């Protein structure tokens, strides 16, 4: 069998999946990226999570002070002071110090730094070492070449001791440049992890890429990532999800018996249902009935609202005869309402996943995806949808998502183009003009694995909910928005005036 390199876990959620097992043990990895790409966060998390698991580490800081790093890591959920007291974590503080006598920043002496690192290694028995940042190690040295040689000697010694070393370096810009001005990755790194923090659609988006990993397999391409309080650096390997979800033949009610009949007896337990329509067509009402159906069946239901407030959703539900406030008190319903602009798509995805893990719902509703679409690029939104749908399916949970069309009459929503192939069922709601009157039409456009009603049916909304009526037989072009009243059209051809609605 082909020998495989031993790996060490990174301590970063999702990164071990991208690296196919973690960083190669006893080797040097470089984390490169521009300012603000969270290099120090990733490095500190790697070291602190390892120390928590019983793998001591030394953090050599050449930019931020040790006190600042302790506070920053505490916001990510790591009690560094406790790890230091236990002897599993140590700082070597080589951060810049101002020399008041010379009125300048005191130069860094590499020989002194090397001695401090050696003492910390002896004291902790470190298995992991972080140097943040490598470029600063010789930035203030008069003889940069000599400083570089001494640092290379340090890395060689660290490798000889079997420690896994993580170096952070700053790239010159946020484009495709992967090397710093000093080019250190070219001769010291066994692995290069590239972080980006690019501007897309007027919003910053972080991504991570394993540029190289000598002698070890890894996944290629850029993967979205984010940094969250209490969680730290999180990688979202959305595009490598496996299509291994189980499928169920069990049906569950939509909460509306008439809609169930259109869908051949209800929704499948593990399906994703998209409801698409213009504003005012009843998308939120279908969500309300869906959640109420779960409460009636004594199933936990989770509502994620991005357009209406918590109290407004409760008020709307009361108008249709549902007591969501009582359902929440009984633990059968949880409503989470927030504005999309409060976070990035990656942040929202992590929060949604955490809410699902914590509450354990059987039903999930999101109203609406279109609200989330406006806060990121098309690529970021599609990756968000892939991650969301695959996670919901992996939990054997039914999801009902809504999307708004750009126009009131007909057309398709931009959201539909991203999610239509990932959904199991699509219900389309439309306004229909019939002889000067505006009515509503509904059709089940798609339902995988099941027969369903294919007519476009009129439906009405009143104080008791949504009611499905008869198919439209006298109009055409409803889905496209180019509605033609067939009766009046034929009568006009025959010279007969259209019928009076009175």
Question: Which of the residues are catalytic?
Answer: 63, 307
Tell me how far CA of residue 61 lies from CA of 33, 44, 273, 339, 390, in angstroms: 17, 10, 50, 38, 40
Question: Rounded CA gap, 378 and 380, in Å?
Answer: 6
SS3 501: coil
Quick one: tokens of 138? 């010789």
Q: How far apart are CA 68 and CA 498, in angstroms?
A: 79
Pair 402, 369: CB distance under 8 Å: yes
Instruction: For residue 425, give the 3-state DSSP assignment.
Output: strand
Phi, psi of 461 (to 5 degrees): -125, 130
What are 168's strand-pairing partners? 31, 132
Tokens for 268? Answer: 């499948």
Dist CA 169 CA 189 (whole Å): 11
Short-list 300, 226, 229, 223, CA closest to 73: 229
Closest to 9 (Cα-Cα) out of 41, 39, 51: 51
Cα 169-127-112 angle, rounded to 5 deg: 60
Question: b vs e for 357-383, b when ≥16 Cβ sit within 10 Å of the residue's Cβ?
Answer: eeeebbbbbbbbbbbbbebbbeebbbb
3-state secondary structure at position 17: helix
Q: 252 forms bridges with which residues in the sheet?
A: 267
According to DSSP, the residues that pair with 399 across neighbouring strands are 272, 364
β-sheet bridge partners, residue 431: 440
* Helix/strand/coil percentages in the chain, nearest 5: 35, 25, 40
3 state SS for 452-471: CCCCCEEEEEECCEEEEEEE
Query: Is 70 in contact with 83 (CB distance < 8 Å)?
Result: no
Instruction: Please provide the size of the chain in residues.
Output: 502
Nearest Cα neighbor of 302 from 370, 260, 352, 371 is: 352
């Amino acid at each position: 069998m082909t020998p495989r390199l031993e790996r060490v876990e990174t301590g970063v959620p999702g990164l071990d999946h991208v690296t196919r097992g973690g960083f190669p043990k006893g080797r040097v990895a470089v984390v490169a990226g521009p300012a603000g790409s969270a290099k120090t966060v990733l490095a500190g998390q790697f070291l602190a999570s390892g120390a928590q698991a019983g793998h001591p580490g030394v953090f050599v800081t050449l930019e931020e002070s040790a006190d600042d790093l302790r506070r920053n890591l505490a916001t990510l959920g790591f009690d560094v002071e406790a790890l230091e007291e236990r002897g599993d974590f140590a700082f070597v503080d080589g951060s810049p110090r101002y020399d008041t006598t010379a009125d300048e920043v005191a130069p860094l002496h590499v020989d002194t730094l090397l001695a401090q690192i050696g003492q910390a290694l002896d004291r902790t028995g470190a298995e992991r070492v972080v140097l943040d940042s490598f470029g600063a190690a010789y930035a203030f040295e008069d003889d940069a070449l000599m400083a570089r040689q001494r640092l290379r000697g340090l890395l060689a010694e660290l490798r000889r001791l079997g420690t896994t070393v993580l170096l952070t370096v700053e790239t010159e810009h946020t484009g495709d440049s992967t090397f710093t001005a000093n080019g250190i990755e070219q001769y010291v790194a066994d692995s290069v992890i590239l972080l980006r923090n690019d501007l897309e659609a007027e919003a910053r988006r972080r991504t991570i890429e394993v540029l190289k990993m000598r002698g070890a397999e890894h996944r290629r391409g850029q993967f979205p990532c984010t940094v969250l309080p209490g969680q730290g650096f999180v990688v979202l390997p959305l595009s490598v999800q496996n299509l291994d979800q189980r499928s169920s033949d069990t049906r569950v009610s939509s909460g509306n018996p008439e809609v169930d009949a259109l869908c051949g007896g209800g929704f499948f337990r593990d399906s994703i249902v998209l409801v698409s329509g213009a504003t005012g067509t009843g998308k939120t009402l279908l969500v309300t009935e869906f959640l109420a159906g779960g409460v009636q069946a004594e199933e936990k239901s989770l509502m994620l609202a991005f357009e209406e407030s918590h109290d407004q959703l409760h008020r709307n539900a009361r108008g249709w005869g549902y007591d969501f406030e009582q359902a929440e008190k009984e633990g059968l319903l949880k409503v989470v309402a927030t504005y999309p602009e409060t976070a990035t798509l990656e942040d929202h995805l992590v929060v949604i996943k955490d809410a699902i893990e914590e509450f354990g719902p059987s039903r999930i509703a999101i109203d609406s995806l279109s609200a989330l679409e406006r806060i990121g690029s098309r690529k970021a939104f599609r990756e968000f949808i892939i991650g969301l749908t695959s996670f919901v399916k992996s939990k054997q949970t039914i999801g009902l998502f809504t999307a708004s069309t750009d126009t009131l009459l007909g057309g398709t929503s931009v959201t539909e183009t991203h999610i239509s192939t990932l959904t199991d069922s699509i219900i389309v709601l439309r306004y229909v003009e019939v002889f000067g009157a505006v009515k509503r039409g509904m059709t089940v456009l798609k339902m995988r694995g099941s027969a369903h009603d294919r007519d476009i049916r009129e439906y009405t909304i009143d104080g008791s909910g949504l009611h499905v009526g008869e198919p439209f037989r006298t109009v055409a072009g409803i889905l496209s928005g180019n509605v033609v009243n067939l009766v009046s059209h034929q009568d006009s051809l025959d010279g007969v005036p259209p019928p009076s609605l009175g």
